[in-house]
Homo-oligomer: A and B are copies of this chain.
Amino acid sequence: MSKNDITGFPEWSPEECLVEGRILDQIRKTFETFGYTRIETRSVEPISELVRGGETEKEIYVVKRLHDDDGDESSRLGLHFDLTIPFARYAVQNLNTLSFPFKRYQIQKVWRGERPQEGRFREFYQADLDVIGRGQLSLWFDAELPLLLYETLERLPFPKVKICLNNRKIVEGFYRGLGLDNIAEVLRRIDKLDKLGERKVFDLLTEIGVSKEAATKCLEFSKIESHDETFLSSVESFGIKTPLLEEGLSEIRAVWSLLRDIPKEQKSINLRIARGLDYYTGTVYEGFFLEDSKLGAVCSGGRYDHLATLKSGEKLPGVGVSIGLTRILGRLFSQKKLPTVQKTPTQVLISLMNEESRLEALSTAKKLRARGIPTEIFHEPLKLGKQIEYASKKGIPYVWFSEGSKHEVKDIRSGEQKPASIETWQPSSE
């Protein structure tokens, strides 16, 4: 990370930025091979919409012109804190020109005024995938998203991920079977299990009126995790049956059966996955690095059937996942798990013998660039040692020398220098 005097607003070093750029390219590419199309929305939304979307008011960044007065409440603007709310709004506003189901990806910065701490930032990239349907949305997409998520993360230089699934209907059906009715409250507390531990969550549950017996059962239920369909017998062992629970089980089995391309050890059904946000209604996901579960979820999402509703009452149900890119990079950079070798994309530096040779150097550079080779021309005819030192400091692997029509290239890692042709020379990938 670079030096920067505003806490929570991270900036990477050039080496890190280069890696981040390559990763963004790769993510976009994978998203697009699945037919998800690029969307960007404005950075601001009315604060009233943001609050409705479930963010606590105190974490919202208000935006206004320096000398504007506040205006009325409904027109006040805040920076978006996720990309789901803006996307649902975009879909509603452009209903008649969009084709449904509408599959999009959206990679943008979001802002949350959280207390800055390790791994929590106030400004960060999210890479989101969502599908929104009109009126209805096939359960198939609940399976496609973890498949695409797996594919995306596998192609990146990241540790292996494990994608965990649950379904809100299972959990809510179970809680109702226990006689509970403040479901959202219970879910929010169960969602804190990883952070607070069992005992504390037990207390939090009994504090809101859940009986000790029910709280124990909620905690036991949340321990069910399975890499195959054996979770069904674990659920049955509780002896609770409600229509909603049955519906959830049927959905999760259908989704699970389509995830064959994800290796067994990288997926699970995990009934602890609750997700804090209120708007999820069915499948929910969280992904973790197998070797670094302490980092918490690196991606998450779920099905939201009621987030967007038209004036006619028609629903636009959706399902989506989000990759917490900045969070992941922050961790991997600080653990030195992502190789950061070069400070520049440049592959070859054309050395400059004297001022007169500059037009010749320009012509050589032009030809190499036309073949896709990132090329710099050294800016002044300094001593060759100085020019090689510049390349070395920036991690540029090759230096090019010309004398008339004779060209040579030095690999400054090995020190080897060889004749080279402008038309055919290639940097080695090593």
A interface vs B, CB < 8 Å?
2-6, 9-14, 17-18, 20-21, 25, 28, 32-44, 46-47, 57-68, 77-79, 90, 93-94, 97-99, 101-104, 109, 111, 113, 123, 138, 140-141, 144, 147, 151, 258, 260-261, 343-346, 349, 358-359, 362, 366, 369, 372-377, 379-380, 390, 393-394, 396
Contact A67 to B57, CB < 8 A, known contacts A93-B4, A123-B43: yes
Residues of chain B lying within 8 A (CB to CB) of residue A62: 63-66
Contact A362 to B258, CB < 8 A, known contacts A35-B375, A35-B376, A374-B34: yes
Q: Name the CB-closest residue of B to A139.
A: B379
Q: Determine how close the nearest CB of chain B comes to the CB of A269; give it in whole angstroms.
A: 19
Q: Name the CB-closest residue of B to A3.
A: B93
CA A4 to CA B42, docked complex, whole Å: 9
Q: Name the CB-closest residue of B to A372.
A: B33
Q: Determine how close the nearest CB of chain B comes to the CB of A400; give it in whole angstroms.
A: 12
Contact A42 to B99, CB < 8 A, known contacts A57-B67, A345-B32: no
CA A33 to CA B44, docked complex, whole Å: 34
**A66, A98, A151: which has the most chain B beta carbons within 10 Å?**
A66
Query: In the complex the two chains form, is B9's CB within 8 Å of A44's CB?
Result: yes
Contact A61 to B65, CB < 8 A, known contacts A13-B94, A37-B345, A359-B260: yes
Contact A40 to B65, CB < 8 A, known contacts A93-B4, A374-B32, A379-B141: no
Query: In the complex the two chains form, is A61's CB within 8 Å of B63's CB?
Result: yes
Q: Name the CB-closest residue of B to A8.
A: B42
Residues of chain B lying within 8 A (CB to CB) of residue A60: 65-66
Q: Name the CB-closest residue of B to A392.
A: B99
Q: How many copies make up the complex?
A: 2
Contact A37 to B14, CB < 8 A, known contacts A2-B94, A57-B66, A63-B61: yes
Contact A35 to B345, CB < 8 A, known contacts A17-B40, A66-B57, A93-B3: yes
CA A372 to CA B33, docked complex, whole Å: 7
Contact of A123 among B42, B109, B261 (CB under 8 A): B42
CA A352 to CA B71, docked complex, whole Å: 53
Query: In the complex the two chains form, is B37's CB within 8 Å of A12's CB?
Result: no
Q: Determine how close the nearest CB of chain B comes to the CB of A43; give it in whole angstroms.
A: 6
Q: Name the CB-closest residue of B to A395.
A: B99
Query: In the complex the two chains form, is A390's CB within 8 Å of B99's CB?
Result: yes
Contact of A14 among B58, B64, B104, B260 (CB under 8 A): B104
CA A47 to CA B66, docked complex, whole Å: 10
CA A10 to CA B396, docked complex, whole Å: 39
CA A137 to CA B258, docked complex, whole Å: 59
Residues of chain B lying within 8 A (CB to CB) of residue A67: 57-58
CA A69 to CA B154, docked complex, whole Å: 45
Query: In the complex the two chains form, is A38's CB within 8 Å of B65's CB?
Result: no
Query: In the complex the two chains form, is B21's CB within 8 Å of A38's CB?
Result: yes
CA A140 to CA B104, docked complex, whole Å: 44
Residues of chain B lying within 8 A (CB to CB) of residue A261: 362, 366
